[in-house]
A = this chain, B = another copy of it.
Amino acid sequence: MTLQKARYHHGDLHQSLLNAAREMLREQGIEGLSLRKLADRVGVSRTAPYHHFKDKNALLCAIAEDGFRYWHAMAKEILDQSALSARQKYAKFIRAYIGYAADNPELYDLMFGRTIWKQASPTQALKDEAYPSFQFQVEMTREWQKQGLMPAEEDTLRLTQVTWGTLHGIARLLIDGIYADSSHIDEMCETALNLFTTH
């Protein structure tokens, strides 16, 4: 049977759900993503997804988890480019972060938004992916302080919270379209870089 519709067992519903959900998220946002429409899209009954994800929250967490994995890989790639100076790396890092958020606004919102972190509760698996991501950022900041790129007198944790908070804030301004739009990205990144690094 090559006809997908006719089969009682889907075959790989778990992965299909994730893929379709990611699409719907990109196209219609978090609010536009309903389990029923999703099931319909994949060609399966309303409650079929419940055999693969505990509830809607679990599905969203799985998508966010992938988002973190992808970003983490991207960040590592930039910071491993040994040919660049610390400052150049940081500049690239900033630009990549904002770019990732601007290119995947709905995913970014899911990764860091209240839907998961406040309204519902993050999966353990998601926490295991998200927290190291921030921890990694702390280590980098410590390194940058040692190299004289960032002020050494500031507490590393606070400095990380503020610098990362800035990127987070700019990302949200862009995503929500308040007081900033994507044509300002490059200049905003440069301004942030100037403020955070001693030069």
Show the binding face of A for B, using Cβ within 8 Å. Answer: 29, 31, 109, 112-114, 117-119, 130, 134, 151, 154-155, 158-159, 161-173, 175-180, 184, 187-188, 190-192, 194-196
Contacts and interface: CB of A to CB of B under 8 A. Distances in A.
Nearest to A114: B176
A118 B173 contact: no
Contact of A188 (B161, B172, B190): B161
A155 B179 CA distance: 15
A166 B176 contact: no
A141 to B, nearest CB: 11
Given A178-B112, A194-B154, A173 B161 contact: yes
A190 B161 CA distance: 12
Given A113-B176, A169-B171, 16 more contacts: A29-B118, A29-B119, A112-B178, A113-B114, A151-B195, A154-B191, A154-B194, A155-B191, A161-B179, A162-B166, A162-B188, A162-B192, A165-B180, A167-B169, A169-B169, A169-B170
Contacts of A179: 134, 161, 164
Oligomeric state, in number of copies? Answer: 2
A186 B86 CA distance: 29
B161 A184 contact: yes
Contacts of A177: 117-118
Given A178-B112, A194-B151, A173 B168 contact: yes
Contacts of A165: 166, 169-170, 172-173, 180, 188
B31 A119 contact: yes
Nearest to A166: B166
The 9 closest A-B pairs by CB, nearest first: A169-B169, A165-B169, A168-B169, A166-B166, A165-B170, A158-B191, A117-B176, A162-B191, A134-B179
A32 to B, nearest CB: 9
